[in-house]
């Protein structure tokens, strides 16, 4: 390189440094191959997929980008995309498909974060400034419909008297008594149960937060499980489906609720439980939250909490069973 050209290059790099830029990244820009947005998105998807327990979610993650981002950004180098392009992409769906638009925005942000961390772009994430150019969405988060907690005893009575199969009735009542998620109950297996200790240990692989969850079992739960042993056969599942080798369909509980004409969802019983705990008992908030296997949002508190308040939760679940019996 001629001396004059070298001096000019050095001057430009010093100017970049004074302005807060990265002179080394600028110098090496031409030496590296910058992936297109599509290539970057596919790389991020491949790297994250092993951590996603739900194959459906993994497919949806990349499919939303294929549908909404690839047409406009797919073949663009990932370091040449800025906020205006993201704004133009999200604008048409921001109000017409608000939930989808938010998911696309989040996934775009993940791709650009990866690109910066991988040295493929510098500066701010172009998604960060896009909110200032978008109108306020008027939709509100849709929660699972839940029965008021004081109506749960009536539902339990109706459930027990219904003409549904005994396995489905036991499974649904077990879900309500343990304040668990549908998938956790449907996929529950006998080797997770300790009837002597009155304990159900759900493995981390089946928990939303990815951590093992211990569930204290009330006397009613234990009674139902002892009855379930009579129809267990050779099944590994607590509540098997038509085949002993498979769990029940995840539509079974919804079908029962519809047949009994209760306007709520199976997942909503977790909210019923939470409202009951906060409005009618003196159990601390963290005990109820841990019963629901919710993640502790406060990072300091999470760092210092080592136990799972099992015995306090045992008393709570005993009281819950007594309330809804």
pLDDT band at 304 (very low <50, low <70, confident <90, very high): very low
The boundaries of the domain holding residue 284 are 149-324
Same-domain pairing of 309 and 193: yes
Alpha carbon distance 112, 71 (integer Å): 17
Residues 187 and 304 reside in one and the same domain: yes
Residues 302 and 206 in one domain: yes
Last residue of a domain, one of 109, 133, 157: 133
Same domain, 196 and 315: yes
Res. 27 pLDDT band, cuts 50 70 90: low
Question: What local confidence, expressed as pLDDT, does residue 299 receive?
Answer: 47
30 in any annotated domain: no
Percent of the chain with pLDDT over 70: 86
Q: What is the Cα 230 distance to its own chain's centre?
A: 35
**pLDDT range class, residue 313, cuts 50, 70, 90:** very high
Q: What is the pLDDT of residue 217?
A: 97
In the prediction, which pLDDT does 302 show?
A: 44
Give strand pairing partners of 237.
189
CATH of the domain at 113: 1.10.150.130
Percent of the chain with pLDDT over 90: 62
Residues contacting residue 256 through CB under 8 Å, at least 6 positions apart? 159, 162, 164, 168, 169, 172
- 211 and 283 inside one domain: yes
* pLDDT at res. 15: 78
Residues in contact with 210: Cβ distance below 8 Å, sequence separation at least 6, in sequence order: 53, 204
Does the pLDDT at position 94 exceed 70? yes
Q: What is the pLDDT of residue 270?
A: 94
Domain identity same for 194 and 282? yes
Name, in order, each residue with C-beta under 8 angstroms of 15's C-beta and a sequence gap of 6 or more: none
Query: Apex CA 242: angle with CA 241 and CA 246, to 5°?
Result: 45
Whether residue 110 lies inside any domain: the answer is yes
pLDDT digits (tens, 9 = 90+) for 144-201: 688 999 999 999 999 999 999 999 999 999 999 999 999 999 999 999 999 999 999 9
How many Å from the N-terminal Cα to the C-terminal Cα in the chain? Answer: 85
Confidence of residue 138 (pLDDT cuts 50, 70, 90): confident
Q: At residue 229, what are phi and psi to the nearest 5 degrees? A: -60, -25
Answer with the one of 133, 165, 188 that is the final residue of a domain. 133
- pLDDT surpassing 70 at residue 267: yes
Number of domains in the chain: 2
pLDDT at 19: 75
- What confidence category does residue 305 fall into, taking pLDDT thresholds of 50, 70 and 90? low
One domain for residues 217 and 160: yes
**Which H helix or E strand runs over 199?**
strand 199-202
Predicted pLDDT at 320: 97
> Are both 111 and 159 inside the same structural domain?
no
Residue 4 has a pLDDT of 65
Asked whether the beta carbons of 271 and 152 are under 8 A apart, the reply is no
Q: Is residue 208 part of a domain?
A: yes
Residue 142 pLDDT greater than 70, yes or no: no
Q: Are 86 and 94 in contact (CB under 8 A)?
A: no
Q: Say if 107 falls within a structural domain.
A: yes
Q: Which of 53-67, 185-199, 272-286 has the lowest mean pLDDT?
A: 53-67
Structure tokens at 26: 């600028």
pLDDT digits (tens, 9 = 90+) for 202-237: 998 888 878 899 999 999 999 999 999 988 889 999
Residue 138 within a domain: no
């Amino acid at each position: 390189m001629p001396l004059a050209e070298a001096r000019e290059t050095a001057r430009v790099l010093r100017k970049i440094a004074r302005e807060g830029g990265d002179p080394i990244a600028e110098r090496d820009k031409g030496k590296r191959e910058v992936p297109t947005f599509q290539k970057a998105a596919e790389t991020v998807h491949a790297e994250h997929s092993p951590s996603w327990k739900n194959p459906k979610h993994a497919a949806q993650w990349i499919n939303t980008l294929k549908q909404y981002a690839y047409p406009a950004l797919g073949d663009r180098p990932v370091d040449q995309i800025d906020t205006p392009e993201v704004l133009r992409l999200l604008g048409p769906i921001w109000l017409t498909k608000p939930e989808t638009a938010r998911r696309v925005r989040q996934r775009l942000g993940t791709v650009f974060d990866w690109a910066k961390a991988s040295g493929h772009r510098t500066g701010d994430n172009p998604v960060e400034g896009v909110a200032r150019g978008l109108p306020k969405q008027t939709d509100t988060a849709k929660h699972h419909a839940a029965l008021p907690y004081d109506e749960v005893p009536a539902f339990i009575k109706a459930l027990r008297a219904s003409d549904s199969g005994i396995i489905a009735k036991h499974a649904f009542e077990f879900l309500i008594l343990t304040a668990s998620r549908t998938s956790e109950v449907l996929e529950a297996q006998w080797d997770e149960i300790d009837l002597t200790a009155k304990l159900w240990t759900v493995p981390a692989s089946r928990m939303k937060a990815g951590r093992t969850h211990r569930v204290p079992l009330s006397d009613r739960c234990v009674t139902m499980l002892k009855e379930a042993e009579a129809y267990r056969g050779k099944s590994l599942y607590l509540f098997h489906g038509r085949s002993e080798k498979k769990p029940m369909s995840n539509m079974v509980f919804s079908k029962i609720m519809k047949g009994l004409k209760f306007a709520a969802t199976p997942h909503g019983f977790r909210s019923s439980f939470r409202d009951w705990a906060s409005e009618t008992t003196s159990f601390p908030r963290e005990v109820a939250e841990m019963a629901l296997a919710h993640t502790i949002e406060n990072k300091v508190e999470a760092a210092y909490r080592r136990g799972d308040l099992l015995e306090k939760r045992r008393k709570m679940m005993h009281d819950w069973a007594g309330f809804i019996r």
